[in-house]
Structure 1
């Protein structure tokens, strides 16, 4: 009983921290019809600075990191991205009214990573004084690219198979994917390379990777400590306010699609986070991965892409319905993932300690 009281007290204290308070505040503003708006250029600038900070921090840490200590969590991150997409796509496709294309697009977003949720997790651990590996930010591309590539390739393969079946029964001709005709039921390497290229060149991944490269190969420690580090929490609070308002606005889009997306968006962050926590424990036992690192891997798995994923999927899967996958992700998935951060912190403290 005492443990449950302590857990509840810890969860309540986390909701009072700035990260979650600004998210809830943004949702309340939108719910009451506030006219407050944050210009899109300001939002893009805030996101870029946060990702540069995460990338620089990761690069600086990777310089001195043990390769094995980095390799195991990186493999876990990639495996999580693929596993979440395959599990989510199959689960959603079982529901009536959900097309295979929409299911894979939604699962792709939930398998990819939210920069804002990762930053919120880091801020929560910092506020609680919980240490974590500095190279955590370097795991972002492994999970993000693995998830998006898997979702798009599986969705296109399914579309190709369905087209081949129609053609075999005397319907339309063989579907073309990309620049020329493809073999029915198959997806060649050019498509995968195009997806990886588009994902890497997206604004979010580009900012993260350039920060990672500068932190790894240059010596940006002085500007990191004097500029990026002091700004981090203030910029994150603005981003959380924006995310809260955006989340509430996106909830209306879910009314246009199958109710399956609502249930999935609520349950998926918790299920995926527990999957990430489990693999994090494996990395902990193999390499000494810290409790903070396990928590952040769970947070990354619980998150759903809100920056790099949507434009990538819009371009690669134009047949998919954005109201379904963006509404489920931003409208419910992101708030649930951020609000679940205290849960993963409590689990890590219970099973590993600080």
Structure 2
């Protein structure tokens, strides 16, 4: 009971911090019918600056990082993204009222990473003076791309016409009913996989993050990083959280058009996925000495659902999927639950590892 009370008190204390306060404030404004709006151009600018900041910081850290210290978390992040999608394919996709393409798109978003949630996690750790590896931002594309590619490939494989062996007069057999590029040369089409990867890499979020990462590794952006990006980070994050809160409340109406299974998934999946990421982080901690803050942020990335790179990628790759289902579940429920659960992962890290 004492541990539970401790966790609850930690969560309530974090709710008073600016990051979560602005998120909840945005939801309240939208619920009360406020006409406050933030221009889309401003939102895109904020996201770009924040992703460049995360990428630059990660790149500068990668430049001096030990290869093993980076490789193990990177591979783990990719595996976590794949496992989350596979879990979704065995749970959400099998529930009544859930179309397979919609379910796989939703699982893909939940396996991918939310830039705003990751930024919120970093801000909360820094506010508590909890250290974490600077290269954490470099793990973003590993989990993000692995999850999106897995979801798209599984959805396309499931959507292909059934193949049937047809006996020929000369004793040979051919496959009929095909035609999907995923079956080219007896396997997944190389062109299809390449197109999915290119679409993902070209998405605004991944492009900005990878650019910042490359500049951080190969150039010396320390001065502009400290004088510009670091100085703006918390102010821009507060505006982003306000936008996310208003957007989350607006998206809740989309869920009325979909099955109740999405509501359950949106509430439960972030916690389950976060615990999966936390468990993987503990293993990495024991193998490489991964910091407690790093464990928390790996859990945060796992619990988050993509709000920037994922939706446009899935719209292009799976046009048959219903955005009200996967975007509504992700933004309306997944993102707020993931952000509000960050204090839980911080407390778990304190209890299991210590700061």
**TM-score, length-scaled by structure 1:** 0.95
Distance 1:275 1:112 in 2: 14
Q: How far 1:5 moved relative to its partner? A: 3.1
Consecutive unaligned residues in structure 1, runs of 5 or more: none
Residues 77 and 142 in structure 1, CA contact (< 8 A), matched pair in contact too: yes
Are 1:304 and 2:305 counterparts?
Answer: yes
Using the TM superposition, name which of 190-199 and 131-140 deviates more. Answer: 190-199
Residues 269 and 301 in structure 1, CA contact (< 8 A), matched pair in contact too: yes
Partner of 2:231: 230
Partner SS, residue 164 of structure 1:
coil
Partner of 1:341: 342
Distance 1:60 1:177 in 2: 43
Distance 2:241 2:235 in 1: 10
Q: Deviations over 1:138-157 (max 9, x none)?
A: 00000000000000000000
Partner of 2:18: 18
Are 1:246 and 2:238 counterparts?
Answer: no
Distance 1:2 1:97, change over 3 A: closer
Q: How far 1:188 moved relative to its partner? A: 1.0
Distance 1:215 1:244 in 2: 31
Partner of 2:171: none
Partner of 2:115: 115
Q: Deviations over 1:229-260 (max 9, x none)?
A: 01100000000000000000000000001100
Partner of 1:73: 73
Q: 2:162 is matched with which residue: 161, 164, 168?
A: 164
Distance 2:183 2:8 in 1: 55
Q: How far 1:35 moved relative to its partner? A: 0.2
RMSD over equivalenced CA pairs, Å: 1.7
Distance 1:255 1:147 in 2: 26
Q: How does 1:103-182 map to 2 (within 5 A)?
A: 103-160=103-160, 163-164=161-162, 174=177, 176-177=179-180, 182=183
Using the TM superposition, name which of 7-16 and 54-63 deviates more. Answer: 7-16
Partner of 1:286: 287
Distance 2:213 2:180 in 1: 34
Across the two proteins, how many residue pairs are aligned to each other? Answer: 346
Residues 114 and 304 in structure 2, CA contact (< 8 A), matched pair in contact too: yes
Partner of 1:9: 9
Residues 152 and 316 in structure 1, CA contact (< 8 A), matched pair in contact too: yes
Distance 1:110 1:184, change over 3 A: farther
Residues 167 and 174 in structure 1, CA contact (< 8 A), matched pair in contact too: no
Q: Deviations over 1:175-227 (max 9, x none)?
A: 6556xx95599531211111111101110000000000000000000110000
Distance 2:185 2:215 in 1: 44
Partner of 1:37: 37
Partner of 1:350: 351
Q: How far 1:10 moved relative to its partner? A: 1.4
Q: Deviations over 1:113-141 (max 9, x none)?
A: 00000000000000111000000000000
Partner SS, residue 63 of structure 1:
helix
Distance 1:68 1:166, change over 3 A: same
Consecutive unaligned residues in structure 2, runs of 5 or more: 167-175
Distance 1:22 1:322, change over 3 A: same
Residues 163 and 177 in structure 2, CA contact (< 8 A), matched pair in contact too: no
Q: How far 1:2 moved relative to its partner? A: 3.8
Distance 2:83 2:4 in 1: 32
Distance 2:255 2:185 in 1: 33
Partner SS, residue 58 of structure 1:
helix
Q: How far 1:100 moved relative to its partner? A: 1.2
Q: Deviations over 1:92-113 (max 9, x none)?
A: 1221111111111000000000
